[in-house]
Amino acid sequence: MRILPLLCLVLLMLIADPAMGAVVLDVSVSGGSLKHPDGVGARAGVSGPSRLAGAIIMDEEMSAFILSRLKIYQQRESLRLTVGEMRRLHRGVPAEIRLILEPLGYYSPEIESALIETEGIWHASYIVTLGEPVRVYSVSVGVNGSGSGLSFFSDLGEQFPLQDGAVLNHQQYESGKKQILQLARTKGFVEARFEKSEIRVHRVNLQADIDLLLNTGHQFLFGKTHSSQEIIKPELLSRYLPYKEGDPYSLRTLTRLQSILYNTGFFSGVNVDPEFDKIREQRVPVALTLTPALRNRYSLGLGYGTDTGIRGKMEWRNRLFNDSGHKVHTSLYLSEKISMIGASYEIPVADPRYDALQYAGSWASEQWDNTQTNLLSVAAALSHTGPVYQYGAAFEVRDEKYEVGVTSGSSFLLLPRVSWGVVIAENRIKTEDGWRFSVEVKGTDKSLLSDATFVQAQAGVKGIRTLFDKWRLIGRFTLGGTAVDSIDDLPPSLRFYAGGDQSVRGYAYKGIGPVDASGTVVGGRYLMAGSMEVERRINETWSAAVFYDTGQAMDSMNVELKQSVGLGGRIALPFGQIRLDVAFPLAEEDFSYRFHLNVGADL
């Protein structure tokens, strides 16, 4: 019988709250306006709200930001939400909103709240008038410790993201502090800390003073870097280090070293350990523990492209032929139009990350329209392939036999060439904004035992620009020219052609250019080709595009350019895009269209 009073008590509690159970609740936050006494709007520099004459109005983005952080909004669909709990949460909303707005610089908002029931639905609404923001009045950044007199600490106050008159944004304040500590640590002051970090807010006059005092501590330097590995020569390993002994110690530099060593392909495991327990005279020794990677790598690939037809490729790479870092690469490429077998031997020089001396040999056979060419080539090249700049020089021996329409011939050339290029983009595979420029010049003379005398230059540029969210503008332009007595002096591989996936779409691969008596495209001295494309991203995988292409290969510059328009679809992959286009030639007698399929990175 003792349980009966307890059951009664529970029953009374349920009766006391008739709304026990699910509550249907709608929550909204909107902006109000605050009239200034002088009728003039907010001062310049207000971030977040919109500014109208005589009023500061909170925009939709800030309203949504506040709403998403309110407890009453987060629990609006909870089955445990009762009317009593809802009223308690409602009473706490003004304090929540003030806590949300203070880090954004708004310390004196006016908040109107209402909680109304209409036809069984509760409506909680909050009208927020931001008022004037608190602005920075002064910024002081002092430095103590052994680094106090160094030049890179002399202008910390001027470089701080919040300056006099700026709205007091706590996120920018914390970001500025973080930047100062990062600077100190990249200069070897790994123990740097703030002895003082204060924001003094004067609510009466809406001003704030920022006062920071950095203690740098001792500066640490890189000591000796050592490793017991026998994978590559110690002299080669030392050339991969992005620092010298005595440089300021930095954890970021060690992380970079780890990435550099992984990218060599020599190692499957890389551990970089600073030995703080062995510090002498503030110098930090670094221990490298390296695990060798498998030397041989084999690959097999199948694909299709409208310029090549069905294609297959087999490769063998020896990523570490010896402890001097030499590499060997062989490949066999077969397709309906192009077949090639080649091998190369690469030796790291200068900066081994980017610089190499390469010896290569190849045999290639290519067929298109009524043209057949077989090229045997042997070359030596010195190249630099940095993340931004690429340049190099090469000397090639070429022996080519060919048939073009009703003519045939052979060509033996000793051909030197130089090239230079630059790529500026954060991501070359999926580029939002970036561009690429390249130029190549080559030529030879009969006095060098060559069958022809000529000089040829070709330049190309491609740019990608994100105009709006999900919209990209893509443009490319190629220009080439040859100084030669007769185009017949050159083999087909050194003549200019237009048409195909990477040229003027809507036309066949190498289908544009001067023709002979049989109607075969024989190639020209000059090349001009360009394209403009607008791409719209549909989702993370799919995109659609429309484009306009124009170009011509010719023997004189007064030839009318071919033109085409088209549309296509794109599929995003980790290594680039699959691009399927349909293009329609313009100003042709007969209506025609051509599909184009290719795969590759943006830049």
Q: Which residues have C-beta within 8 Å of that of residue 486, sequence separation ≥ 6?
A: none
Q: What's residue 364's pLDDT?
A: 97
Q: Provide the pairing of β-strand 407-425 with 434-444.
A: antiparallel
pLDDT along the chain (603 residues), means of 10: 47 40 66 42 34 49 89 90 92 94 92 89 90 94 92 91 95 96 93 95 94 95 95 96 95 95 95 93 95 95 87 95 97 94 97 97 94 97 96 98 92 97 93 96 95 97 94 97 94 96 94 92 96 96 97 91 96 93 92 92 90
Q: Phi, psi at residue 341, to the nearest 5°?
A: -130, 135
The sign of the torsion formed by the CA atoms of 253, 255, 258, 262 equals negative
**Helix %, strand %, coil % of the chain (to 5):** 15, 50, 35
DSSP 78: -
Other CB atoms within a 10 A radius of the CB of residue 468 amount to 8
Instruction: With beta carbons less than 8 A apart as the criterion, state whether 505 and 594 touch.
Output: yes
Terminal alpha carbon distance of the chain: 83
Amino acid in the structure at residue 572: A
Q: For residue 288, what pLDDT is reported? A: 96
Residue 195 three-state SS: strand
What per-residue confidence (pLDDT) applies to 23?
Answer: 64
Q: Which domains does the chain have, with CATH numbers?
A: 13-129 (3.10.20.310), 135-215 (3.10.20.310), 221-292 (3.10.20.310), 296-600 (2.40.160.50)
CA dist 227 and 290 (Å) reads 8
| Res 49: pLDDT | 42
